[in-house]
Structure 1
Amino acid sequence: MTDFETKAPGVHLEEIKAVGPIAGAGTSTAALIGTAKKDIPEADLGKPVAVTNWTAYVDRFDGFSEFGAEQPLALPHAVRGFFQNGGTMAYIVPVRDATGLDDALTSLTRTLDVSIVCLPGMTDFAVQKTVIDHCQEMGDRFAVLDGAREAGTPGNTEPLKTQREGLVTDRGFGALYWPWIRISDPGAPADEPARLTVPPSGHIAGVMARSDNERGVHKAPANEPVRGAVDLEVLLSDGEQAQLNNLGINALRIFPGGPPVVWGARALSTNTAWRFVNVRRLMAYISDSLLQGLRWATFEPNNKTLWKKLERTVTEFLTRVWQSGALFGETSAEAFYVKIDEELNPASVRKLGQVFIEIGVAPTTPAEHVVIQLGLWSGGVRVNEG
């Protein structure tokens, strides 16, 4: 406030800070949990460390396992794949094994800018389910998980089906990706090139970050190339993928002349409303943005003036979301609604210090199947085939 004691008596004008628009929450920061090459002191295990590029990871955690290791560490390759594919910010949470997962997830409850959680190479569904439960409880993040590698025997998808049954939920806060990818071994001598098979989750998290930054979180992170991947451990047929897709398992595919691509956008949900990865992540983005952007209203007088401010602020934000293509409708009224009135907030509610806002949105869903109706056409008369 201005010190008016130093001014002459009179009327003074001072600008006040207006309620600003809601800024969209971040969607592309990943947390990657796993074992690093460097021996981490016990006191530092399970604690997130922020890194913004591969060099920063190497400086803090060292690089890959030794060349020729029988079981290369999954975490460093996942981190490198994340940054290769467009990721810009990650939290590395070092653990010795899956027994440290609870401590890691507890630490991540205090790391509020995380929106993607990966557990590279750990495919035990009981362990993975813990990560999905964490994401669901937090409400602002999504689990990107690896399919079981033992499903790599041609035609043997039973391990994947068992894994999926242990992970599927009603609310769909996670997704499963398979098969594992093959990359050029960065530790191999130049005159002895070699390949490694690594889990895809870190690379997929990077694809999500890239898609978010280029198109928006509402765009399904699919039909996107996986940078750094030179091959896949298993090449699926359309029929094999159809079975997996119906189970909500996202395939990586190689089509003639192209690189490995993400070719699925299903979340692990039994509820068709949460079938798609981008719908769940969009709703997490909207809810997180509203939670952050409406803190100014806490402890304000709970009256109609506040309600109007809240309605205007939320409407302005959702209008921007609709204009970005994230919501379906020719008009904003078709795409969303915001309700805050006495029906929702009677005196009994206001006496408890509460104010309720009801919001409905119509998210866009991906065109998972493009159907072409093909027939013969001759002289202006269409001839149907069959």
Structure 2
Amino acid sequence: MFIEGEEEILPSSPFVAGLIAKVDSEQGFWHSPSNKEINGIVGTSRPIDFTLGNTNCRANHLNENEVTTIIHQNGYRLWGNRTCSNDSKWAFLSVRRTADLINDSLLRAHLWAVDRNITKTYIDDVIEGVNSYLANLKAQGAIISGKCYATPELNTPANIASGKVYFDFEFTPPYPAEQIIFRSHLVNIS
């Protein structure tokens, strides 16, 4: 980056945070920031070897070890989708962020439901609110499917009497196409 005409070496983290915010704003929080151009940088202090289609290059080796990096390919790009989770279902950053944002949004959107009287209508109203939100996310492409339900085994009279109501929801996020593999086959047509 150039500051007052002088080239400065700065940490990449604010640029990556800016890129994530830009992707969130322009495409949605469920999109991966990987393979998106980072504005404002003119190089990296430590170039990382990258060759498109080469699974053995350093950038892809870093990615395999859950390290996101910056590559130079049609501009400087963030390269990598992975988190450091040991659980494969949370391996992708966009999947983890989708889960976090859904959970946070549901808590905020259902503040109205805290300390209300627990009635049959109450449970249906909360389920309807969650399912409406999940349907909206599905329509936007943020999730592939989603559903909320109240589990009778958890919503026992004892739990209800102590003010506890359990709502479960499930969702399926879209996973990023981290590797596309083209296989060529030469055929002789006679």
TM-score by length of 2: 0.91
Change (3 A) 1:325 1:378: farther
Q: Offset at 1:378?
A: 4.5
Percent of aligned positions that are identical: 25
Q: In the alignment, which residue of structure 2 is the partner of 1:261?
A: 77
Whole-Å separation in 2 of the counterparts to 1:247 and 1:228: 27
The answer as to 2:185 corresponding to 1:367 is: no
Tell me, yes or no, if the aligned pair for 2:151 and 2:168 is still in contact at 8 Å. Answer: no
Write out per-residue CA displacement over residues 33-82 of structure 1, whole angstroms, 9 at most, x where no aligned residue.
Answer: xxxxxxxxxxxxxxxxxxxxxxxxxxxxxxxxxxxxxxxxxxxxxxxxxx
Unaligned runs of 5+ in 2: 51-56
Is the partner of 2:43 in helix, strand or coil?
strand
Residue 340 of structure 1 aligns with an amino acid whose one-letter code is A
1:154-203 alpha-carbon deviations (Å, 9 max, x no partner): xxxxxxxxxxxxxxxxxxxxxxxxxxxxx12x123xxxxx3111111101
Match of 1:290 in 2: 106
Residue 316 of structure 1 aligns to a residue in which SS?
Answer: helix
Aligned CA-pair RMSD: 1.5
In 2, the alpha carbon distance for the partners of 1:339 and 1:321 equals 17
Report if the CA contact (8 A) 1:249-1:266 is conserved.
Answer: yes
Look up the match of 2:65. Answer: 247
**Paired residue type of 1:357:** F
Q: Does structure 2 conserve the Cα–Cα contact (< 8 Å) formed by 1:220 and 1:366?
A: yes
1:210 corresponds in structure 2 to 22
Can you give the 5+ residue segments of structure 1 that lack an aligned partner in the other structure?
Answer: 1-182, 189-193, 329-334, 382-386
Contact 2:35 2:79 (8 Å CA) reproduced: yes
For residue 310 of structure 1, what is the aligned residue in structure 2? 126
**Residue 235 of structure 1: CA displacement?**
2.2
Q: How does 1:140-151 map to 2 (within 5 A)?
A: none
Residues in 1 aligned to 2:151 and 2:83: alpha-carbon distance in whole angstroms: 35
1:327 maps to which of 121, 143, 146: 143
What is the alpha-carbon distance in structure 1 between the residues aligned to residue 47 and residue 26 of structure 2? 29
8 Å CA contact 1:307, 1:341 repeated in 2: no
**Partners of 2:15 and 2:97 in 1: how far apart?**
18
Alignment of 1:348 with 2:165, yes or no, is no
Aligned-partner Cα distance in 2 for 1:223–1:341: 41
Give aligned pairs, total. Answer: 184
Partner in structure 2 of residue 98 of structure 1: none
> Residue 197 of structure 1 aligns with which residue?
9
Distance 2:151 2:121 in 1: 11
Contact 1:217-1:281 at 8 Å conserved across structures:
yes
Alignment of 1:1-386 (within 5 A): 183-184=1-2, 186-188=3-5, 194-238=6-50, 239-255=57-73, 258-328=74-144, 335-379=145-189
Which structure features the higher share of strand residues? Answer: 1
Are the equivalent residues in 2 in contact too, given 1:219–1:278 (CA < 8 A)? Answer: yes
